[in-house]
């Protein structure tokens, strides 16, 4: 992979681009204020990862050379537009790694690019916050999860060599749903309450967390994914250690559109398809959309 291009250099994209620039030719593509800050003084990471990374930035992509790895780290609802804008610039042998929250993201990308690129799904478990243009705060260093069967092993090697711990999973659908369930609990609750992730572990929210998970598990099973209520115990154990503000909470605080349609909204959509009622997830969607409407 001759070049790595990060399309959507926000918090997560900047973090990945910074670490990958240690041993690779990386281009960050993002909004002008952030890119100008990066090009003038470098990308500054603080928190669990410290350093100033001299990585190139641009506000648009002129070409995606043959053999490139493109990390798609835009918001899920921006995927189609972002990928459509570069579809005719994709070289031969390009791999697009979708590193986003939500369900069904890779299908959206495949529908746009067709046979022009190989599309792979990955999961991010790190907690990253965008502080200001050119500055990213790393709250929690997690792992990247990839499946098997394509170029995943090569990508995992590249990531691990740069300090991005990466694991290859034998059951990617279950991994995706597991992350989805956690996001369906943490993201809307933190966004509604404007608190860090660990605060939604409060006892007063226990029943609400359980009901969200129950609905998600029922829909996952209807989709043929082997998930059970053990995910709730896992969730209860890890939330207290998450001290970052979720991406949805950051979006609401900045007056931006959220990814609710790809999280709880997707559970509601699939629940209707299977005749499964999801009233609590529906409530989460309605409340977040209300806050989005006040932007």
- Using one digit for the tens of pLDDT, what is the confidence trace for 214-252? 999 999 999 999 999 999 999 999 999 888 899 999 999
287 has a pLDDT exceeding 80? yes
pLDDT at 2 exceeding the cut of 80: no
* 133 Cβ contact partners less than 8 Å away, ≥ 6 residues apart: 33, 34, 36, 37, 38
| Phi, then psi, of 102 in degrees rounded to 5 | 115, 180
Where in the sequence of the chain do the CATH 1.10.1040.10 domains occur? 172-293
Average pLDDT of the chain is 95
Sign for the pseudo-dihedral over CA of 154, 156, 161, 164: positive
> What would the pLDDT profile of 10-67 be if each residue is shown by its tens digit?
999 999 999 999 999 999 999 999 999 999 999 999 999 999 999 999 999 999 999 9
Percent of the chain, pLDDT > 90? 95
CATH architecture, domain 4-168: 3-Layer(aba) Sandwich (3.40)
81-132: pLDDT as tens digits? 999 999 999 999 999 999 999 999 999 999 999 999 999 999 999 999 999 9
| pLDDT at residue 184 greater than cutoff 90 | yes
Closest CA to 159 of 69, 91, 64: 69
Reply yes or no on whether the pLDDT at 213 is more than 80: yes
**CATH number for the domain whose boundaries are 172-293:** 1.10.1040.10
Residue 288 is predicted with a pLDDT of 98
- Distances in Å between the alpha carbon of 130 and those of 9, 10, 14, 53, 141? 10, 7, 9, 15, 15
Catalytic residue among 140, 179, 256, 266: 179
User: CA quadruple 184, 186, 189, 194: dihedral positive or negative?
Assistant: negative
Q: Provide CATH 3.40.50.720 ranges for the chain.
A: 4-168
> Angle at Cα 119 formed by Cα 114 and Cα 122, nearest 5°?
155
- Sheet order of strands, 51-53 included: 51-53, 43-47, 135-140, 127-132
179 included as an active-site residue = yes
């Amino acid at each position: 992979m001759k070049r790595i291009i990060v399309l959507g250099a926000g918090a997560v994209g900047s973090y990945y681009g910074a670490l990958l620039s240690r041993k690779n030719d990386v281009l960050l593509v993002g909004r002008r204020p952030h890119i100008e800050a990066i090009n003038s003084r470098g990308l500054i990471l603080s928190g669990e990862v410290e350093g100033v990374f001299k990585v190139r930035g641009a506000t648009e992509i002129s070409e995606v050379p043959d053999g490139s790895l493109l990390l798609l780290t835009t918001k899920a609802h921006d995927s189609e537009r972002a990928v459509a804008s570069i579809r005719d610039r994709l070289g031969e042998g390009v791999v697009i790694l979708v590193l986003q929250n939500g369900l069904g993201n890779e299908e959206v990308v495949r529908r746009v690019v067709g046979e022009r690129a190989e599309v792979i799904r990955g999961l991010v478990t790190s907690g990253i916050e965008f502080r200001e243009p050119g500055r990213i705060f790393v709250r929690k260093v997690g792992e990247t999860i990839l499946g098997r069967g394509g170029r995943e092993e090569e990508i995992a090697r590249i990531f691990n060599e740069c300090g991005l711990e990466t694991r290859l999973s034998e059951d990617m659908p279950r991994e995706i749903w597991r992350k989805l369930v956690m996001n369906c609990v943490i993201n809307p609750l933190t966004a509604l309450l404007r608190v860090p992730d660990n605060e939604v572990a409060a006892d007063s929210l226990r029943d609400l967390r359980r009901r969200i998970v129950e609905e998600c598990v029922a829909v996952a099973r209807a989709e043929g994914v082997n998930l059970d209520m053990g995910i709730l115990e896992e969730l209860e154990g890890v939330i207290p250690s998450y001290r970052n503000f979720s991406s949805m909470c950051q979006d609401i605080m900045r007056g931006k559109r959220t990814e609710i349609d790809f999280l709880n909204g997707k559970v509601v959509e699939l629940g209707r398809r299977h005749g499964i009622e999801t009233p609590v997830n529906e409530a989460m969607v309605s409340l977040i959309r209300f806050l989005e409407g006040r932007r």
